[in-house]
């Protein structure tokens, strides 16, 4: 079957009035972004309170559906056959040939649901339903009408053209990115943080990211891995502004001045402070991490409290109640897992203590940080000044 358009279904709860425009505009923008690297001539537009993707000429159906399915806010994707508006006898032929091609076994139950956006059409919706229903029954003796619970709901929309559709391919749900502000993701090379970014983006939040790099202890390849992960997340979230912070001197200084068992917590607190600096500068409304309660020593309730204490922005931890297995499942589904498990060193693993504190005491941590007074401000400033900013996943987004 050759489909000429896709009708995009989206959840409409809470998107009345002004919100509806914002929601639909963001949806259109994100669909255009998702299709920008698919071969074909696509026209994404709003029409009569609906969003459509019109496909002009040849295109790869599977690839197109796969790309549209990445767009948050979409509940369903309906492949549409478009026909010219014709009088009813001709329309019957089009509908019969559609049903024959879509349901070749010819034994389903169905219901015709006609809608007339074009009121000049000389029959009303009820009359169209009856006429087309009869034509289908005549053509396929084993098909039956079921108005309450049909296998197939055949939608016939009469607009400038006739739109025929009956299949709904499920979309990812959520809200279109760009409808809920932005947040700063602390993105490491691991399994968790890309999943955390994906989950918050799914709620309509635009993502920025910060990665703490510790050359020469972490290699250029470790940084490239993080860039690869950002690229994979950007497939769903849209372009990501990635800040690569050189964290080496801060880390070495903490290593030199603070008790080694507190190293990870203190390091994490400095990561949060720096992430927050960039977040505020760019108007982000929160931080995002891939932390999950109890996963490692630095993620016990006490450790999370100690890390959290330096933040003034809300910290979103969408994986907080997930087991590793559940996180792995999502990372496989979204395609980040294979990159995450590549064996490149992480700046946290290099300086990690043999016996890190699992129940850090905030006062003690704050006291240890006093050992850093002499040079830390200067080191922080240098880290901020030397941060490299890269836009990941730009594609042709600029042209929208
Ligand atoms: P992940 O591998 O996804 O980071 P993890 O289990 O390795 O998860 P940790 O290394 O303990 O977790 O880090 C917890 C969180 O802190 C990460 O999910 C991430 O949000 C942040 N983080 C850790 N290291 C870095 C880093 N080098 N750059 C940016 N963020 C980091
Ligand atoms: Mg990690």
Query: What pLDDT, on a 0 to 100 scale, did the predictor assign at position 395?
Result: 67
Average pLDDT in the chain: 93
* Closest by Cα among 85, 90, 80 to 163: 80
**Residue 186 pLDDT level (bands cut at 50, 70, 90):** very high
Which one-letter DSSP state was computed for residue 107?
A: -
State the average pLDDT over residues 321-348.
91
Ligand 1, pocket residues at CB < 6 Å: 186-188, 190-193, 210-212, 271, 289-291, 295-296, 298-299, 346-348
Pairing of strands 50-56, 74-84: unpaired
Interstrand relation of 287-288 and 315-316 (parallel, antiparallel or unpaired): parallel
Q: What is the pLDDT of residues 90-121, one digit of tens each?
A: 999 999 999 999 999 999 999 999 999 878 88
Mutate to test the pocket of ligand 1, among 191, 192, 208, 271 (most ligand atoms within 8 A of CB): 192
Give the count of beta carbons closer than 10 Å to the beta carbon of residue 60: 12
Ligand 1, atom 23: nearest CA belongs to which residue? 188
Nearest bound ligand to CA 274? 1
What's the alpha-carbon Rg for the chain, to the nearest Å? Answer: 27
- Specify the pLDDT at position 349: 63
Residues with a beta carbon under 5 angstroms from ion ligand 2: 188, 190, 346
* 55 CA from centroid of ligand 1 (Å): 42
Q: Tell me the per-residue pLDDT of 27-70, one tens digit each, with 9 for 90 and over.
A: 999 999 999 999 999 999 998 778 999 999 999 999 999 999 99
pLDDT for res 21: 87
The answer, yes or no, to whether residue 223 has pLDDT greater than 90, is yes
Ligand located closest to 187 CA: 1
- Tokens representing residue 12 in the block: 């409409």
User: Using an 8 Å Cβ cutoff, are 193 and 187 in contact?
Assistant: yes
Between the alpha carbon of residue 380 and those of residues 75, 259, 314, 346, the distances in Å are: 45, 20, 22, 20
User: What is the pLDDT, as a whole number, of residue 399?
Assistant: 42
Residue 291 CA, ligand 1 centroid: distance in Å: 7
Residues 369 and 263: beta-carbon distance below 8 Å? no
Tokens standing for residue 186: 């602390």
Report how far residue 385's alpha carbon sits from residue 173's, in angstroms, rounded to the nearest whole number. 39
Which of 356, 244, 377 is CA-nearest to residue 298? 356
| Inter-CA distances, 302 with 341, 358, 368, Å | 28, 7, 16
Check pLDDT > 80 for residue 171: yes
**Residue ID of nearest Cα to ligand 1 atom 9:** 291
Identify the pLDDT of residue 383: 98
State the closest ligand 1 atom to the C-alpha of 192, by its place in the atom list counted from 1: 3
Interval between CA 238 and ligand 1 midpoint (Å): 22
Question: Measured in angstroms, how far is the CA atom of residue 323 from the centroid of ligand 2?
Answer: 15
CA of 397 from ligand 1 middle (Å) equals: 29
Residues 6+ away with beta carbon under 8 Å from 324: 191, 292, 295
Ligand closest to 290 (CA) is 1
pLDDT tens profile 235-253: 999 999 999 999 999 999 9
Give the span between the Cα atoms of 218 and 233, in whole angstroms: 22
Hey, which of 348, 353, 360, 388 would you mutate to test ligand 1's pocket, going by the most ligand atoms within 8 Å of its Cβ?
A: 348
CA of 186 from ligand 1 middle (Å) equals 7
Percent of the chain with pLDDT over 90: 86
- Give residue-wise pLDDT tens across range 266-303: 999 999 999 999 999 999 999 999 999 988 888 899 99
Select the more confidently predicted residue: 348 or 89.
89
* Nearest protein CA to atom 20 of ligand 1, as residue: 289
Closest protein CA for atom 8 of ligand 1: 192
> Which atom of ligand 1 lies nearest, measured to the CA of 210?
29
The atom number, within ligand 1, closest to the CA of 349 reads: 10
Integer Cα distance of 182 and 284 in angstroms: 5
Model confidence over 386-397: pLDDT tens digits? Answer: 999 999 998 654
User: What digits encode the pLDDT tens for the residues 142-160?
Assistant: 999 999 999 999 999 998 8
Tens digit of each residue's pLDDT (9 = 90 or more) over 71-87: 999 999 999 999 999 99
d(CA 182, CA 173): 19
- The rounded distance, in Å, linking the Cα atoms of 80 and 5 is 5
The H or E element containing residue 17 is helix 17-35
**Do residues 291 and 304 touch, judged by C-beta distance below 8 A?**
yes
């Amino acid at each position: 079957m050759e489909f000429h358009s896709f009708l995009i279904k989206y959840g409409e709860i809470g998107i009345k009035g002004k919100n509806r425009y914002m929601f639909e505009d963001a949806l259109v923008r994100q669909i255009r972004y998702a299709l920008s690297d698919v071969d074909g001539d696509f026209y994404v537009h709003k029409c009569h309170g609906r969003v459509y993707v019109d496909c002009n000429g040849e295109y790869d159906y599977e690839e197109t559906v796969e790309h549209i399915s990445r767009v948050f806010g979409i509940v369903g994707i309906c492949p549409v056959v478009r026909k010219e508006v014709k009088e009813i006898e001709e329309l019957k032929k089009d509908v019969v040939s559609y049903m024959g091609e879509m349901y070749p076994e010819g034994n389903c139950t169905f219901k015709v649901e006609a809608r007339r956006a074009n009121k000049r059409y000389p029959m009303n919706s009820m009359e169209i339903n009856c006429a087309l229903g009869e034509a289908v029954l005549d053509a396929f003796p084993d098909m039956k009408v079921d108005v309450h619970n049909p296998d197939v709901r055949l939608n016939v929309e009469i607009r400038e053209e006739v739109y025929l559709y009956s299949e709904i391919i499920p979309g990812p749900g959520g809200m279109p990115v760009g409808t809920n502000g932005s947040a700063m993701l602390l993105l490491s090379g691991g399994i968790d943080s890309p999943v955390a970014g994906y989950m918050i983006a799914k709620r309509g939040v635009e993502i920025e990211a910060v990665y703490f790099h510790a050359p020469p202890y972490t290699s250029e390849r470790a940084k490239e891995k993080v860039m690869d992960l950002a690229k994979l997340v950007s497939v769903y979230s849209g372009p990501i502004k990635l800040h690569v912070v050189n964290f080496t001197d801060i880390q070495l200084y903490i290593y030199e001045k603070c008790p080694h068992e507190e190293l990870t917590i203190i390091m994490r607190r400095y990561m949060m402070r720096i992430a927050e600096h960039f977040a505020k500068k760019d108007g982000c409304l929160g931080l995002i991490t891939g932390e999950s309660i109890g996963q490692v020593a630095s993620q016990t309730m006490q450790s999370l409290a100690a890390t959290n204490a330096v933040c003034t922005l809300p910290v979103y931890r969408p994986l907080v109640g997930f087991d590793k297995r559940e996180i792995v499942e999502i990372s496989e589904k979204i395609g980040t897992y294979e990159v995450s498990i590549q064996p490149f060193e992480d700046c946290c693993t290099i300086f990690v203590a043999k016996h890190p504190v699992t129940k850090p005491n905030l006062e003690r941590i704050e006291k240890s940080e006093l050992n850093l007074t002499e040079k830390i401000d200067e080191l922080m400033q240098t880290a901020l000044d030397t941060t490299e900013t890269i836009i990941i996943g730009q594609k042709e987004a600029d042209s929208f």
